[in-house]
Amino acid sequence: MSPLLGVLGGMGPAATNSFLAALVEHTPARRDQEHLATIVYSDPATPDRSDAILAGGASPVPAMVRGIEFLDRSGCDLIAIPCNTAHRWFDELAAAADTPILHIVDAVLDRIEQDAPAVGTVGMMATEGTVHAGIYHERLAAAGLDVLDLNDLGSDNPVMAGIRAVKAGELDQARAYLTKAAEMLVTRGAQGLIFGCTDVAAAVGAGVPGVDVPVWDSSDALAAACLARIGTENADQGVTRGKEVHAGQ
């Protein structure tokens, strides 16, 4: 039986679509039947993750756990969460299921180590909640990477302005904000950029025009890691259940 990937989506819908598109792009399929079987649980009503972290807003955990439990009951072999900020609660989500869950930051780290191991400073394009919670900073620091962000700009942070524009469907405005953010991070010394919010790629695609440093899109990295773990060519190998799975395993 072919392996089954579960996707905890809806955070936001455009980000989920970008992840699924990346999954298709990375699959070396010659016909429909060679693609990975996927179940997507998408609940856009999940409370805002950044609001929960920064402003004491409603917790998204109950809604996310419902999705994780649904995917677990559906017989998935692996679960992916194409929302970076949701990984603030990774441990709670991993504890809610026997199905292993890939950590999106590990997927990005693997790509950086493969593509540009000499890079020492990266710029983070992520929500204020992701930055504040240290979702990337802690794991990247442990790998010897310095991390730059624009959270010091407060309400003038063009990353957050761009992400809000994506969620509002204003993609042209979003691209303008996010291009400005990328340029500012490179000026501050970033040798590479991480799209640490899956909505960023939904607006700008695989890279930022005019910005000549490597770019790592977390959604793209997560898709590649999922296929490396349970790609159709590895269907007969199975997966180990009941523990966190790192992208490099």
Mean pLDDT of the 203-226 span: 89
**230 assigned to some structural domain:** yes
In which domain, by residue range, is 73 found? 4-104+221-237
In this structure, the answer to whether residues 147 and 177 fall within a common structural domain is yes
In this structure, the answer to whether residues 138 and 182 fall within a common structural domain is yes
**139 assigned to some structural domain:** yes
Question: 197 with 133: CB under 8 angstroms?
Answer: no
Domain total in the chain: 2
Residue 29 pLDDT > 90: no
Quick one: pLDDT at residue 174?
A: 94
In this structure, the answer to whether residues 72 and 170 fall within a common structural domain is no
Quick one: pLDDT at residue 205?
A: 77
In this structure, the answer to whether residues 36 and 48 fall within a common structural domain is yes
- For 131-166, how does the pLDDT look when each residue is reduced to its tens digit (9 = 90+)? 999 999 889 999 999 999 999 999 999 999 999 999
Catalytic residue among 7, 78, 83, 186: 83
Instruction: Give dist(CA 202, CA 17) in Å, integer.
Output: 8
Quick one: pLDDT at residue 232?
A: 54
**249 assigned to some structural domain:** no
Residue 248's pLDDT band (boundaries 50, 70, 90)? very low
Percent residues over pLDDT 90 in the chain: 76
In this structure, the answer to whether residues 174 and 207 fall within a common structural domain is yes
In this structure, the answer to whether residues 184 and 231 fall within a common structural domain is no
**86 assigned to some structural domain:** yes
**56 assigned to some structural domain:** yes
Q: Is 226 an active-site residue?
A: no
In this structure, the answer to whether residues 100 and 114 fall within a common structural domain is no
Name the pairing type of β-strands 37-42 and 78-80.
unpaired
**9 assigned to some structural domain:** yes
Q: What is the CATH number of the domain that holds 37?
A: 3.40.50.1860
In this structure, the answer to whether residues 100 and 112 fall within a common structural domain is no
**233 assigned to some structural domain:** yes
In this structure, the answer to whether residues 27 and 130 fall within a common structural domain is no
Q: Is 83 an active-site residue?
A: yes
In this structure, the answer to whether residues 74 and 140 fall within a common structural domain is no
Catalytic residue among 133, 193, 197, 215: 197
The residue that leads in pLDDT, 236 or 31, is 31
In this structure, the answer to whether residues 75 and 176 fall within a common structural domain is no
- For 159-194, how does the pLDDT look when each residue is reduced to its tens digit (9 = 90+)? 999 999 998 999 999 999 999 999 999 999 999 999
Of the candidates 236, 194, 234, 183, the residue with the CA atom closest to the CA atom of residue 217? 194
In this structure, the answer to whether residues 172 and 100 fall within a common structural domain is no
